[in-house]
Amino acid sequence: MGTAFDDTSRSRQPHRVAIPPAKPFLQTLKSNLKETLFPDDPFRELKKQPSASRKLVLGLQYFIPILEWAPRYTFAFFRADLVAGITIASLAVPQGISYAQLASLPPIVGLYSSFVPPLVYAMLGSSRDVAVGTVAVASLLISTMLGKEVSPVDNPKLYFQLAVTATFFAGVFEASLGFLRLGFIVDFLSHATIVGFMSGAATVVCLQQLKGILGLVHFTHETDIVSVMRSIFTQTHQWRWESGILGCCFLFFLLTTRYFSKRKSYFFWINAMAPLTSVVLGSVLVYFTHAEKHGVQVIGNLKKGLNPLSITDLAFGSPHLMVAIKTGIITGIIALAEGVAVGRSFAQYKNYHIDGNKEMIAFGTMNIVGSLTSCYLTSGPFSRTAVNYNAGCKTAVSNIVMAVAVMFTLLFLTPLFHYTPLVVLSSIIMAAMLGLIDYEAAFHLWKVDKYDFAVCLGAYVGVVFGSVETGLVIAVAISLVRMLLFLARPKTGLLGNIPNSMIYRSMDQYPNAESVPGVMILQIDAPVYFANANYLRERISRWIDEEEDKLKSTGGPSLQFVILDMTSIGNIDTSGISMLEEVKKNTDRKELKLVLANPRSEVIKKLDKSQFIKTIGQEWIYLTVAEAVAACNYMLHTCNPKHVTTAETNGQDSNV
Amino acid sequence: MGTAFDDTSRSRQPHRVAIPPAKPFLQTLKSNLKETLFPDDPFRELKKQPSASRKLVLGLQYFIPILEWAPRYTFAFFRADLVAGITIASLAVPQGISYAQLASLPPIVGLYSSFVPPLVYAMLGSSRDVAVGTVAVASLLISTMLGKEVSPVDNPKLYFQLAVTATFFAGVFEASLGFLRLGFIVDFLSHATIVGFMSGAATVVCLQQLKGILGLVHFTHETDIVSVMRSIFTQTHQWRWESGILGCCFLFFLLTTRYFSKRKSYFFWINAMAPLTSVVLGSVLVYFTHAEKHGVQVIGNLKKGLNPLSITDLAFGSPHLMVAIKTGIITGIIALAEGVAVGRSFAQYKNYHIDGNKEMIAFGTMNIVGSLTSCYLTSGPFSRTAVNYNAGCKTAVSNIVMAVAVMFTLLFLTPLFHYTPLVVLSSIIMAAMLGLIDYEAAFHLWKVDKYDFAVCLGAYVGVVFGSVETGLVIAVAISLVRMLLFLARPKTGLLGNIPNSMIYRSMDQYPNAESVPGVMILQIDAPVYFANANYLRERISRWIDEEEDKLKSTGGPSLQFVILDMTSIGNIDTSGISMLEEVKKNTDRKELKLVLANPRSEVIKKLDKSQFIKTIGQEWIYLTVAEAVAACNYMLHTCNPKHVTTAETNGQDSNV
């Protein structure tokens, strides 16, 4: 086979490398922008429609998904959604109250936040499974970031105003990301970052709950483990055993129910009902034992009635506005990342598609509307969504059912929560958080990719020992450094011939690959940009030097050709082209011939425009490494008598 | 040939994809670190030596290059270096005074800075051509950054202290970059950034010279073009025509000499001597006409004597310390980038090698020593180095000669500069800067790479309309966004068979490439990381959908196989592996078979560790696209009777 190939390559012209025709600049820009911002081509269906009215309907359906699926809604769907909606409502009420406490907001705000936002999401969201509600990590972030500026204890009114203002900006930020089609920014929070960050945040939230479980009144405002531990162990005399025992009992109860429901998936409702059961049990217990007089703190009075408007509470003129904006943007992106990731995961289970940008608009709108109606930041929390999915929800109607149930609670049932002990809420949060510490995922990262593990660990350690923001910054920084390092220090390696084939592969990966005498084949594994141009120039010259040293010491035939395999060079910039020009000068000085193999479309276009093709000579650019090697062997064979025997022998060895 | 291949692939096992054995974690880490930080393997020679004393000598020579070349220094070298040294001294004196004015420092400091730092560089530098001295852009930066904090007019002592403190930190920063082997950070200033930034800075410096040429006393402290123009045109009544005419004459003289010296390279000395000639002419003219009494400002008294020590001037306890540190770091990296780039360019001309990290240590040390001896920031300016090169310098001894000449000036000749008019210094700076506005390079960037042009333009506009720092931040940000976009939106494309070969190439680049019925071959052009995993998942599923739509509309055979060509995927992380797992689920659902071709070393290792190879089946991973296609065709052929004819015909068509 090899011989046949050699014959043909000697007798006829090898395949030419095509230089695609230059496209007008604006056309290239347009297609690049389209690929960057509209990779999913969302209006594909729309374009196919001939009539304008049909287009309008499709367009409206695109922006308001409920218009699309509502006409197909059936009674069977409703039955499923009703069950799911009531199930998640039973989780939403205690969770709402708990997380509001975590955000240092009045408990009733947590209930408000489970009423309006789910209704908005049901109109605009494209997920069928996401159950809307407040999320633990964002709640904690709000309390730490705003708490530094304004004390929620001393100035609860201003604190509340800042919280809704932050929610407003979170909404605006999320919606603008969606409108500007910049959803991919969320992708920069990698899986590893999220695992580490969530586990860290869950650890921190758990530690915070020790306050409630131990019945402490004074507690540190810091979230790092050192401050929290110091705060706990300097006030051992303040620990309340009544509170502690109650807390441990409920925690045990909640963890046990979760254990069983994980064993058998049709027991999921045990887990779903457990928080509400705990609340009821706890309240009844306190009511009959009057434990509130023995150190067990209770929620107290909750105002009856639906969400009051909070437009006048948006503190645009406040001196703390910048803090509110910063809090909004950071919590907004964290909440968004969780919501979008959760939505995507469940969509995959059920095999339907979620448009990230549309989801962002939905989350953003629901937070903007929420901020006007006394709600704080909401998203699609994992725990509630998982329960919704397990309860068999079919559409976003389950969110409407939940909202109606919460409305009912707000209107009639709030007095029932008067005696609910705070320690039960702490147990509920703690149980939920313990499930988020994903050590198995971390172990998997360690096994598969050490660098991802470092990202994950960085996020975890940053959150637990520093602050939530520190952890996030560390993780994103490590992830970006990794990508930049990949570009700044691309892999280079020698290729050799796989015996009995015309295939050339890395000699590191395929130890049986054989080098071709007199020819060095070098592969570069990344686009050539300014960030790596200098490195590559030095590395290539070192490869050549080392190869020449080696050949000299083994007494082999001297080096004559350097083939650059450009298959993996996806793009090049002007610094990269200068680098190639310098490599060419360098090889010329050493009397070596530089040969290019398989330059790609973008690369060959730029090499052409910068006249480098003329410098190197069109005849030294080949479509494949095999053809380049064949041409080199032919040259060695015919033009350089002293090499004839070696080249000939090798041609037989490596190609047949 | 194709038939032969098909036969063999049916009759015997195709080549196996090798999974390299897992290396211990620490070993991988060590080799990665070595490749990142020591890509040039600087101690290669050292390791080869058997004796310890020889190793010590080589080590010393590595850190102090003069020890290496001094023993080989000859008289012929000295003759050349003497001529070059005197030539650059004649440039150094007027330039030193001018740039010190630009930095709002006393003119004598410019002369000091051409005495001590060149001596230090001559010991430590590895370039034979770099001529050390102050640089225009860094001088301007010092004056704008420090001038905001402390007025050089009202408080010259404190301003000088901050300037030497900034120089000290610049030196420490540069040297630490070198010691920590982080020289590659300089590479992140791309060629395009530097072209735009330098042109912008040159424009700004030129505009600043209008103050001197028009003889204005009050002038804006801002550097942007709008403020400068406003400042000039609101004081038209203050313009001094004597100064203006003198300035224009000297500018014309300097530009003419440069024009001629560019025409014939042996006239370079006309250009080199022109500044000193201008200074002498200007001084004589002022002395005889007493023009200093008619609005022509002169330098005035210069203190005689060598550099005083300035250790006590280092303002570590000052409240302005942070500004000094910030100024030091920014000006340090800018000066370093210019110096290293200049050194590298000239080393290439003469075909010797420069170690970037060693250069950084040399530049850093010379600035640290300089800051202790009343010098401000120095580097290797392009203009002076070019003159040095043209004057035929052989080694860094030309720097020593220059330093001695400047010492002589400091000791005996300073009174001669009393009558030197400032307008001549402005003309010298302006002439030098006009040569730095590199519109040809910008045009080349536009022609070859629009994105690089955008970077260049961003830097230019940022510097000219904003500030020097703004321009730098804009350019670095655009460059980084480009690299991140490359990773976030990698190119994907369909491959087809090049007629009469077994080669598969992008159908975009090679319009004659033919698709294989029933098989879709998809190529991904970047490493698969978290930043693009989501995009790729959606893009791949869109490719599949579009292909199926197309086949349906043309009535071709339905899609059966999806081959992913992984040649260009240099690395993958855990997010990327999840993406592949989801693609696999997706293809399974559509009853398509997913086939991988040529996964690379890093990728196959991770696919193996994460069990993905088991999921997809080792038998569906091929070494080349051709083998994968052959296997698919074979399957279509034998297992799927309805496709026999099509596949058979195509097998003949595309492979023979």
A61-97, pLDDT tens digit by residue? 888 888 888 888 999 899 889 988 988 888 888 888 8
Domain end point (choices A403, A436, A469): A436
Partner residue opposite A530 with nearest CB, options B8, B190, B535: B190
Partner residue opposite A184 with nearest CB, options B192, B535, B585: B535
Same domain for A515 and A615? yes
pLDDT of residue A653: 35
Interface of B with A in 84-143 (CB under 8 A): none
**pLDDT tier at B639, thresholds 50, 70, 90:** low
Q: Examine residue B393 and state whether it is found in any structural domain, yes or no.
A: yes
CB atoms within 10 A of CB A75: 7
Same domain for A288 and A386? yes
Distance CA B486, CA B483 (A): 5
CA A589 to chain centre: 49
Q: Examine residue B444 and state whether it is found in any structural domain, yes or no.
A: no
Closest Cα to residue B334, out of B475, B211, B428, B452?
B475
Closest Cα to residue B343, out of B475, B178, B511?
B178
For residue A104, the distance in angstroms to the closest alpha carbon of chain B comes to 34
Q: Which domain holds residue B413?
A: 77-436
Say if B508 is an interface residue toward chain A (CB within 8 Å). yes
Domain end point (choices B436, B455, B473): B436
| Least confident interval from A220-224, B71-75, B507-511 | A220-224
Distance CA B107, CA B94 (A): 10
Query: With contacts defined as CB-CB under 8 Å, which chain B residues touch A490?
Result: 570
How much of chain B exceeds pLDDT 90, in percent? 27
Tokens 């003219």, residue? B285
- We report the CATH number of the domain holding residue B512 as 3.30.750.24
Query: With contacts defined as CB-CB under 8 Å, which chain B residues touch A480?
Result: 484
Say if A351 is an interface residue toward chain B (CB within 8 Å). yes
Q: Examine residue B537 and state whether it is found in any structural domain, yes or no.
A: yes
Query: A351 to chain B: nearest residue by CA?
Result: B586
pLDDT of residue B119: 94
* pLDDT above 50: residue A8: no
Q: Do B192 and A573 touch (CB under 8 A)?
A: yes
**pLDDT tier at A639, thresholds 50, 70, 90:** low
Query: With contacts defined as CB-CB under 8 Å, which chain B residues touch A531?
Result: 184, 187-188, 190, 483
Same domain for B493 and B388? no
Partner residue opposite B35 with nearest CB, options A1, A444, A489: A489
Say if B469 is an interface residue toward chain A (CB within 8 Å). no
Chains A & B: contacts with CB separation below 8 Å: 223
| Least confident interval from A476-490, A511-525, A531-545, B358-372 | A476-490
| Least confident interval from A510-514, B234-238, B269-273, B367-371 | B269-273
Same domain for A141 and A260? yes
Same domain for A342 and A263? yes
Say if A192 is an interface residue toward chain B (CB within 8 Å). yes
pLDDT of residue A6: 41
For residue B607, the distance in angstroms to the closest alpha carbon of chain A comes to 8
Q: What is the dihedral of CA A331, A336, A342, A344, to 10 degrees?
A: -160
Burial of B537 (0-12, 13-18, 19+ CB in 10 A): buried
pLDDT of residue B643: 43
A559-607, pLDDT tens digit by residue? 999 999 999 998 898 889 989 998 998 899 889 999 999 999 889 988 9
Q: Examine residue A32 and state whether it is found in any structural domain, yes or no.
A: no
Distance CA A289, CA A300 (A): 16
Q: Return phi, psi of residue B113, to 5°.
A: -70, -10
Same domain for B359 and B502? no
pLDDT of residue A642: 46
Interface of A with B in 21-60 (CB under 8 A): 25, 28-29, 35-36, 39-41
Say if A1 is an interface residue toward chain B (CB within 8 Å). yes
CA distances (Å), origin B385, targets A151, B342, B346, B403: 62, 8, 9, 14
Q: Do B534 and A184 touch (CB under 8 A)?
A: yes
Same domain for A237 and A299? yes
* pLDDT above 90: residue A439: no
Partner residue opposite B610 with nearest CB, options A448, A487, A531: A448
Say if B571 is an interface residue toward chain A (CB within 8 Å). yes
Same domain for B190 and B295? yes
Q: Do A190 and B509 touch (CB under 8 A)?
A: no
Query: Is A617 within 8 Å of A571 (Cβ atoms)?
Result: no
Q: Examine residue A29 and state whether it is found in any structural domain, yes or no.
A: no
Query: With contacts defined as CB-CB under 8 Å, which chain A residues touch B4?
Result: 1, 4
A167-217, pLDDT tens digit by residue? 999 999 999 998 888 777 777 777 788 888 888 888 888 888 888 888 887
Say if B190 is an interface residue toward chain A (CB within 8 Å). yes
Interface of A with B in 534-563 (CB under 8 A): 534-535, 538-539, 542
Q: What is the largest CA-CA distance in chain B?
A: 106
Q: Do A509 and B600 touch (CB under 8 A)?
A: yes
Query: B356 to chain A: nearest residue by CA?
Result: A534
Same domain for B390 and B508? no
DSSP string, A363-381: HHHHHHHHHHTT----B--
Query: With contacts defined as CB-CB under 8 Å, which chain A residues touch B192?
Result: 530, 573-575
Domain end point (choices B415, B436, B457): B436
For residue A287, the distance in angstroms to the closest alpha carbon of chain B comes to 51
Q: Examine residue B89 and state whether it is found in any structural domain, yes or no.
A: yes
CA distances (Å), origin A173, targets A170, A179, B519: 5, 10, 43
Same domain for A116 and A238? yes
Say if B611 is an interface residue toward chain A (CB within 8 Å). no
* pLDDT above 50: residue A648: no
- Determine which of B185, B497, B504, B534 to mutate to test the interface with A (most A C-beta atoms within 10 Å): B534
Query: A503 to chain B: nearest residue by CA?
Result: B624
Three-state DSSP state, A395: coil
Q: Examine residue A471 and state whether it is found in any structural domain, yes or no.
A: no
* pLDDT above 50: residue A12: no
B75-110, pLDDT tens digit by residue? 989 988 998 898 888 888 888 888 898 899 999 999
Query: B8 to chain A: nearest residue by CA?
Result: A1
* pLDDT above 50: residue A523: yes
Query: A193 to chain B: nearest residue by CA?
Result: B530
Q: Do B449 and A530 touch (CB under 8 A)?
A: no
Looking at residues B612-616, what average pLDDT do you find? 90
Q: Examine residue B69 and state whether it is found in any structural domain, yes or no.
A: no
Looking at residues B201-220, what average pLDDT do you find? 84
- What's the 3-state SS for A10-53? HHCCCCCCCCCCCCCHHHHHHHHHHHHHCCCCCCHHHHHCCCHH
**pLDDT tier at B641, thresholds 50, 70, 90:** very low
Q: Note the pTM of the prediction, 2 decimals.
A: 0.79
- Structural domains of chain B, count: 2
Same domain for B495 and B427? no
Distance CA A593, CA A588 (A): 7
For residue B165, the distance in angstroms to the closest alpha carbon of chain A comes to 30
* pLDDT above 90: residue A317: no
Q: H or E segment at B597? A: strand B593-597
Same domain for A222 and A348? yes
